[in-house]
Amino acid sequence: MSAYNTNLNWRYATKKFDNTKTVSNGDLETLKEAIQLSASSYGLQPYKVLVVSNKETKEKLKPAAWNQTQITDASHIIIFASIDNLGDSHVDDYIQNISETRDIEVSELEGLSGMIKGTLAPLSEDMKSTWAAKQTYIALGNLLAAAADLKIDTCPMEGFNAEQFKEILGLDKLGLTPTVIAPIGYRAEDDSYQHLKKVRKPAEELFINI
């Protein structure tokens, strides 16, 4: 087994974090870069990522996550929030970023711009929200793998009230909707889940080779 797969086998959805341990700034920057490098449709990255370490904020969020202890005991909470009301302005910002990064005239990118805008235009707001939310899960996957590589524990969670998170964090003013979260930190020694064997479908059941 490769070192990468060994690390993935090591990770699990940590149920109890050691609240005395904190992820270092250096490791946190590595995780943020891994998220930043995530793939997304067209490369548009239709989301923002909040990194919450403030204890008071975590305490406020805990009831909105059904009082799960990971919220307050983890070192940080990574919150993936999709952008509401995706439109031409978001595409224009992306095209400008490409222009500046690759030293290409914006006029040379009109075809790409038109294609992306043409894809988004016929979608309803609900369809665009669903599409944007799906992109956050790709970034989440990168976070989980990168954290495992650093032997940092994670717990991907959908068990939270998005509207309450929105209100507590003021995300409605930013046009953002939280879609999935991942507390990160270090497992507590008495978290019994770390000793359980990982349960996955056998390869012959999971894969279809054509």
Domains annotated for the chain, with CATH where assigned, are 3-206 (3.40.109.10)
What's the confidence (pLDDT) of residue 200?
97
What's the confidence (pLDDT) of residue 81?
98
**Whose CA is closest to 74, among 185, 152, 191?**
185
- DSSP code at position 19: T
What's the confidence (pLDDT) of residue 23?
98
What's the confidence (pLDDT) of residue 190?
97
> Cβ neighbours of residue 62 under 8 Å, at least 6 residues apart?
68, 69, 71, 72
What's the confidence (pLDDT) of residue 1?
78
- Measured over the CA atoms of residue 171, residue 121, residue 104 and residue 40, the dihedral's sign is positive
What's the confidence (pLDDT) of residue 158?
98
What's the confidence (pLDDT) of residue 143?
98
Residues of the chain with pLDDT under 70: none
Cβ contacts of 158-165, under 8 Å, gap ≥ 24? 159/65, 159/66, 159/68, 160/61, 160/64, 160/65, 160/66, 161/64, 161/65, 164/63, 164/64, 165/61, 165/64, 165/65, 165/79
